[in-house]
Amino acid sequence: MPDPNDPVIGRAARSASGAAAFRDALGMRERRAEAAWARIRRCRALGRPSDAEVARMVAEYHARGGRVTVCAPVRLVP
């Protein structure tokens, strides 16, 4: 029996079309998982930026008027 608390499978299992909806939900979950893995593969293929690239990106950010803000840690916020 599918977990009724699962946001994808549970909703499909409770629907009127039963088994077909369950299969559709499993397919949707597989497509989401494949899309997530594809993104991870693309990011890994790009590699890490070099120190020079990071310095250039930060300089461009500041040149466009960007500024770095420091937020208080959550434990210090009332």
Angle at CA of residue 39, ends 45 and 42, nearest 5° = 15
In the chain, the percentage of residues whose pLDDT exceeds 90 is 26
Q: What pLDDT is stored for residue 8 in this prediction? A: 59
Q: What pLDDT is stored for residue 51 in this prediction? A: 94
pLDDT tens digit sequence for 55-78: 999 999 989 988 877 777 777 666
For the cut 60, the answer to whether the pLDDT of residue 16 exceeds it is no
Q: Is the pTM of this model over 0.75?
A: no
pLDDT tens digit sequence for 27-53: 888 888 888 999 999 999 998 999 999
Residue 76 C-beta-side C-alpha neighbours within 13 Å? 4
Residue whose structure tokens are 């803000």: 69
